[in-house]
A and B are shown apart, each in its own frame.
Chain A
Amino acid sequence: MRFRVFHRTRYVYRAPVRDSYNELRLRPVTDNKARLEFFLLNVNPPARLRHFRDDWLNYVHYFDVPEPHLDLTIEAQCTINTTNPYADGHPTGVKFATLKTDLDDMVVPFLGGSRYVDVSPEIWRLGIDIRDECDDVFEAAGAVMHHIYKNWAYAPNTTTVSTHMSEVLETKQGVCQDFAHLMIGICRSLGIPTRYVSGYLYNGHDSHLRGAQASHAWVEVHVPGRGWFGLDPTNDTLADERHIKIATGRDYADAAPITGHFDGPPGATTALQVELEVRRTDR
């Protein structure tokens, strides 16, 4: 599928702030499943953009606005061509034992705890119950996804961007980011390398998918010998060509679309406005 995305985030401050420095992870991933045809970032107040690749190979654009300003607008637009990563079938048939024998250094960071994810005894017990007797890595990950979808309530505004997985485990509610963290915790407790994915979800007129037309989050599990595969616990679906991948990392902290700092009075940010349009341009 081919999409045109326009994504604008605007921060409004109640008093002038200055010396703002920001890092953006807003550039969709180009790989053998998706091809980015056009990408442009623009910020206001006008600033010079630069970029680096972080530890997870995400494109990070950064800029600073030294002079006092009352609002900050960040616009990302792109044209992207996606294909379904599952077009050749599901990566089933890989046994749990291979997770230990085929351990790749690259996936080690995605096995333990991270900022928003703990591999705690509670989550391990939950993981064991969900896995049941299943010995297939990908199928077990699928079972975790179903379990979260069935037993956790989608409840916008009950959590924040900094809600920890352990709280989600307890309150049994949240949004895409929380479900992703929870799924990461459960899968890692089972020894499956799992990473966080931030991106967009195209939903067309199909309103049953959650997080549609908004920034979305899901996970990818690493199946030894097969690679990373996406699963979306918020919607109980495999991440397919409707999922536009932007950044990956151990959890939200590694993949946050916008992080920044400025000098200003406490509670200076009075409003955050997000405008997101994902338009399909093929068919």
Chain B
Amino acid sequence: MSSLFNDYQPGKFFDEVFSAPGAARSHYEALLSNVGSLTPGDYSSLQKAVDAAFLKMGVTFTVYGDDQGTERIFPFDLMPRIIPQREWERVEAGLIQRITALNLFLNDIYHGQKILTDKAVPEELVLSASHYRPEFKGVKVPHGIYIHICGTDLVRDDKGEYFVLEDNGRCPSGASYMLENRHAMKRAFPGLLQSLPVRPVDTYGTMLRETLEHLAPKGVLDPTVVVLTPGIYNSAYFEHCYLAKQMGVPIVEGRDLIMRNDRVFMRTTKGLEQVHVIYRRIDDDFLDPLVFRKDSLLGVPGIINSYRKGHVALANSIGTGVADDKAVYALVPKMIEYYLDQEPILPNVKTYLGIKKKECAYILDNLEKLVVKAVNESGGYGMLMGPSASKKERSDFADRIKANPRNYIAQPVLQLSRHPVFVDDHFEGRHIDLRPYVLYGDRVRVVPGGLTRVALRKGSLVVNSSQGGGSKDTWVLWDECSDKAASTQLAA
């Protein structure tokens, strides 16, 4: 075994690589025998070369509400996270089950609301979600699918068990980093990936495009797909451009689109061209000033009307935010039971709801043990890490919870699994999570792997890039048989 890891301490956490000091898990052995031959100096210079490449290519994100420069490189740690096939298959199955149930839920909430009539979930909780769009009730969406692109956050606890932390069913970001991380690995270790059975992720662009094309209005054989971005000041602008390029489709801003006869057209140098499918990376609120926020300059006036009439498709659909409200999250296991008549494959993290009197009292009594989250915030904003917060922070948060209990949920602090991360000249354990990308087009497909995010600050449990998180390449190992041929024919 390598000298690089001689002094590595897995600690009392679930370590992804080492089950005990010096004892690597079997799916990491091949990697360690390769990387292990490097000296810390070699490794460090590889890491520096990758950092320089990220800066040069502009693999960045933007931090809001911070004075020290807004655009940052997304820190990348060279040592990949590896998931063996069997483990991955269970994750994949759980994600397919979950996105299926979430879509059935959304379809129901925007049509008959049977789940509410049957009292399978509390009505007041669902209908009070701030991203619920009652104006969208009764609108038929293509194929009845609402969430086409989902980025579900998974974590593992101190026993290595996977849990769903949240479902990002609005505009999940990060897929571009997943793709760039893989490129970076290939440059840093030429030949290594080919020698190991790592499932590719670079088909994401094609898969995403197929998913979007599947939504095109009936009869359109060669649909025009575009990526709609809020513009260069958005934190994920790099990603919007990157994905448009990967798919080979134009990237547009609201002002590039115009309505004519209920249809959406794009201004091009050759005149107007009709747009059939829009991968919109703008929140509902800003999409159409005629329907949602009147002050929005980012959207396209009239686009919702065109969507209602079926002339243009939007991915994701409108109002999906009701499903990734952090309080509605707590109901997903019930949705799986209600719609699919099954048990959830991937469990939720135990969640206390502020809206429920008893649970709210529990939250207020146990703030120092809990993570409290505002239900509609993302990116690690608006949360309280109970154990590490100061007394004052806790009492401030308690006041906020009392003022608006619906707006808060709390969860026990999970001891997230750790992974070795290169710090200065050696490896140290850091907490990680996993965001796999689920695409729902002709059928549900999950990109093997996803984005592993790392809490780079020692001891930190917050992996969001906006809070000092980095990322890793994620390898799903392939031991699928060579016989992948699949045929399609009519039943006997």
Contact = CB atoms under 8 A, between A and B. Distances in A.
Whether chain B is bound by chain A comes out as yes
B117 to A, nearest CB: 11
Nearest to B115: A48
B491 A214 contact: yes
A176 to B, nearest CB: 5
B317 to A, nearest CB: 13
B232 to A, nearest CB: 38
Contacts of B492: 156, 175-177, 210-211, 214-217, 234
Most chain A CB neighbours (cut-off 10 Å) among B479, B484, B485? B485
Contact of B144 (A39, A46, A61, A205): A46
Given A48-B104, A48-B338, A213-B486, 18 more contacts: A37-B89, A40-B96, A44-B143, A46-B103, A49-B339, A75-B443, A156-B492, A211-B492, A214-B491, A214-B492, A234-B492, A274-B490, A276-B488, A279-B484, A279-B486, A280-B481, A282-B479, A283-B483
A138 B90 CA distance: 39
Contacts of A8: 443
B100 interface: yes
Contacts of A211: 492
A222 B343 CA distance: 34
Contact of B341 (A50, A205, A281): A50
A139 interface: no
Contact of B93 (A45, A50, A79): A79
A46 B481 contact: no
Nearest to A280: B481
Contact of B340 (A38, A41, A217, A277): A41
A51 interface: yes
Contacts of B479: 282
Contacts of B486: 213, 277-279
B86 to A, nearest CB: 9
A213 B488 CA distance: 7
Contacts of A77: 96
Interface in A183-219: 204-205, 210-211, 213-217
Interface of A: 6, 8, 37-42, 44-46, 48-51, 61, 75, 77, 79, 156, 175-177, 204-205, 210-211, 213-217, 234, 274-283
Contacts of B90: 37-38
Contacts of B341: 49-51, 61
B491 A281 contact: no
Contacts of B490: 214, 274
Nearest to B484: A279
Interface in B46-73: none
Interface residues of B, number: 34
Nearest to B480: A281
B487 interface: yes
A213 B93 contact: no
Interface in B326-375: 338-342, 345
Interface in B126-175: 143-144
Contacts of A278: 486
B474 interface: no
A234 to B, nearest CB: 8
Contacts of A175: 492
Nearest to A176: B492
B186 interface: no
Interface string B91-110: 00100110010011001100
Contacts of A38: 89-90, 93, 345
Contact of A274 (B107, B339, B491): B491
Interface in B457-492: 479-492
A276 B143 contact: no
A214 B114 contact: no
25 contacts: A37-B90, A37-B93, A38-B90, A39-B342, A40-B340, A42-B340, A44-B143, A48-B114, A49-B339, A49-B341, A51-B341, A77-B96, A156-B492, A204-B485, A205-B485, A210-B492, A214-B489, A214-B491, A216-B492, A234-B492, A274-B490, A274-B491, A277-B487, A283-B481, A283-B482
Contacts of B103: 46
Nearest to A7: B491
A51 B341 CA distance: 7
B104 A46 contact: yes
Contacts of B345: 38
A260 to B, nearest CB: 16
Contacts of B483: 204-205, 280, 283
Contacts of A213: 486-489
Contact of A46 (B107, B480, B491): B107
A274 B100 CA distance: 21
B89 A277 contact: no
A110 B84 CA distance: 45
Contacts of B89: 37-38, 79, 281
B490 to A, nearest CB: 6
A79 B484 CA distance: 15
A49 B100 CA distance: 12
Nearest to B442: A8
Nearest to A273: B490
A185 B263 CA distance: 62
Nearest to A279: B486
Contacts of A6: 443
Most chain B CB neighbours (cut-off 10 Å) among A8, A50, A213? A213
Contacts of A156: 492
A75 B487 CA distance: 17
A219 B297 CA distance: 67
A283 to B, nearest CB: 4
A242 B383 CA distance: 52
B257 to A, nearest CB: 30
Nearest to A6: B443
A41 B342 CA distance: 10
B332 to A, nearest CB: 15
Nearest 9 Cβ contacts at the A-B interface: A283-B481, A38-B93, A211-B492, A277-B486, A46-B107, A215-B491, A214-B492, A274-B491, A214-B491
Contacts of B481: 280-283
Nearest to A156: B492
A211 B55 CA distance: 56
Most chain A CB neighbours (cut-off 10 Å) among B144, B484, B486? B486
Contacts of A39: 342
Given A49-B340, A214-B489, A40 B144 contact: no
Most chain A CB neighbours (cut-off 10 Å) among B340, B342, B489? B340
Contacts of A204: 483, 485
Nearest to B94: A38
A46 B338 CA distance: 13
A112 B382 CA distance: 70
A275 B485 contact: no
A217 to B, nearest CB: 8
A275 B143 CA distance: 18
Nearest to B97: A40
Nearest to A75: B443
A177 B492 CA distance: 8
A79 B88 CA distance: 13
